[in-house]
Amino acid sequence: MRLLVTLLLFLVPVLGVWTFWTAEENGWWMPETVTTYGPDIDYLFYLILWMVAFFFILTEGLLVWFVFKYSKKDDTKGVYSHGNHKLELLWTVVPGILLLVIAFSQMETWADIKYRGNLPKTPPIAHVWASQFDWRVQYPGADGEFGTWDDVESPHLFVVPSDEDVVFILHSRDVLHSFFVPAFRLKQDAVPGMAIPVWFNVDKAIDEEGAEDKEAIRLYDLICTELCGWGHYKMAGRVEVRSREKFDEWMAEQEANVMSNGKEDQS
C-alpha cells in the first residue's frame, strides 16, 4: 500500500515533466511567433520554464521521498523542530538571486514593448475598443483623423499591414478586458477610462497552420484574457495581417463602403 501510494504520487512529477517536455512538439504551447519581439518573449518564457522545472523536479522528488520514508507506522511521537537557520538562509537567498536574474533579464524586453518612450514614431493606425463582448476597431477613414464622420469601423476583425511598426490605442468601454494575440506574444489589459498605446511589428509570414507565404492573408486569434463577464468565453476576434499593398486595398474598400449611398449594399 505504502509503495503503491508513493508510486501514484511519483506519477505527478513524472507526468508534469513529460507534459512540458513534449509540449512544444505537440503544439501545446503557443503558436509559432510572428512578431519582431516574439522571440525575446519566448526566450524569457523558456528561461523561467527551465528554472521552474528544476525546482519542480527537486521539490517533487523530495516530497515523494518523504512520503515514502516517513509514512511508516510506528509508535514514535512527533518531534518539534525549531528549524535550521542555515537551511532557511539557503532557500531564501537562492530564490532571491533567481528572482533578480529574472528581473534583470526581462527589463530590456519589457521596456522595448511597453515603455511609451520606446513607442515606434509612427501615428496610430487604429483605436481598438473592447466592450462586453466585442472587439471593434476604428480606423481614421479617408481624412486620416480619428473621431470624425468618415471613420471606418470594423467589428471583430483587426486588419494590419505586415513588415512595419503598427501602433494602436486600446480602450475599454465598460470593464477590464485584455487584448491577447498568442502568435504575437502580445498581451495588454484594456482599462476603462485609459487610452493605452500598444505596438507590434509582424515580420514573419507564418500563419496559424505553420505555412509560410509573404503574399498570403494571415489570420490570427485575438482573445480576451481578462474575465469580463458571462460572455467572456466568446469575446474572440481575429487579427488579419496583409502586405502593405493588400492592406491599402482593403482600406480603400472600407472607405468606399463608408461613402455608400445605400444603392448597392454590401454582403
Partner 1 sequence: MGGSYFFFRSLFDGSCDPTDGPSGQWSDGVDTSALGASNDRPNPDLASLMRRIHIASLFALSGLALLSSCDIQAQAKERSYGLAEEYRFDKSNTIFLEDLPEGTDAPLMGALEMLCGTPAEPQLMLLEDWVDEGYDPNFPEYPVGDMGSGEISEDEMALIEEDNMRVFAVQLEAIAEGDYAGVVPFRGAPVLQAKWDDFLADALEDEDGDGAPDFVVEEDDSPNYVAVDSEELFREEAAMLLIGWYPRLVDSADLYRLECMHCHGNEGAGDGSTAPFLHPAPRNYQPGWFKWAAVENKAKPRRVDLYNILSEGAYTSAMPNFKRFSRAQLHGLVDYVRLLSIRGETERMLVLELDGGASLTPALISETYSDIWEQWNNADERVVHCEGDVPEPTAELLARGRELYMDANGGNCYSCHGDLGLGDGASAWEEVDGVSQRIVDDWGEEIIPRNLTSGIYRGGRRPIDIYRRISIGITGTPMPAVPDTLTEEDRWAIVHYVLSLSDVHDGVGLDSMRMRAAHADHSDEDHDSEGH
Which positions lie near partner 1, rule CB under 8 A?
A: 1-2, 5, 71, 73-78, 121-124, 127, 131, 133-134, 136, 138, 140, 145-151, 153, 155-157, 167, 169, 171, 173, 195, 197, 209, 219, 231, 234, 236-238, 257-263, 265-267
Contact 158, 222 (CB under 8 A): yes
Least separation in angstroms between residue 134's CB and Cu ion is: 9
Among partner 1, Cu ion, none, what binds residue 177 when CB lies within 5 to 8 Å by partner kind? Cu ion
Residue among 41, 113, 152, 235 that touches Cu ion (CB under 5 A):
235
Contact 135, 91 (CB under 8 A): no
Among partner 1, Cu ion, none, what binds residue 219 when CB lies within 5 to 8 Å by partner kind? partner 1
- Those residues whose C-beta lies under 8 Å from the C-beta of residue 24, and which sit 6 or more positions away, are none
The residue among 83 and 262 lying less far from partner 1, judged by its C-beta, is: 262
Contact 41, 33 (CB under 8 A): yes
Rule CB under 5 A: say whether 224 interacts with Cu ion.
Answer: yes
Stretch 168-207 residues interacting with Cu ion (CB under 5 A): 177
The residue among 82 and 263 lying less far from partner 1, judged by its C-beta, is: 263
> Can you read off the three cell numbers belonging to residue 91?
532557500
> Can you read off the three cell numbers belonging to residue 23?
509540449
The residue among 37 and 135 lying less far from Cu ion, judged by its C-beta, is: 135
C-alpha pair distances (Å), 127 with each of 10, 71, 232: 51, 61, 21
Among partner 1, Cu ion, none, what binds residue 224 when CB lies within 5 to 8 Å by partner kind? Cu ion
Least separation in angstroms between residue 100's CB and partner 1 is: 34
The residue among 40 and 220 lying less far from partner 1, judged by its C-beta, is: 220
Q: At what angle do helices 2-26 and 38-70 cross, to 10 degrees?
A: 170
Contact 59, 209 (CB under 8 A): no
- Those residues whose C-beta lies under 8 Å from the C-beta of residue 179, and which sit 6 or more positions away, are 128, 130, 135, 170, 186, 187, 188, 189, 190, 198, 222, 224
Least separation in angstroms between residue 157's CB and Cu ion is: 17
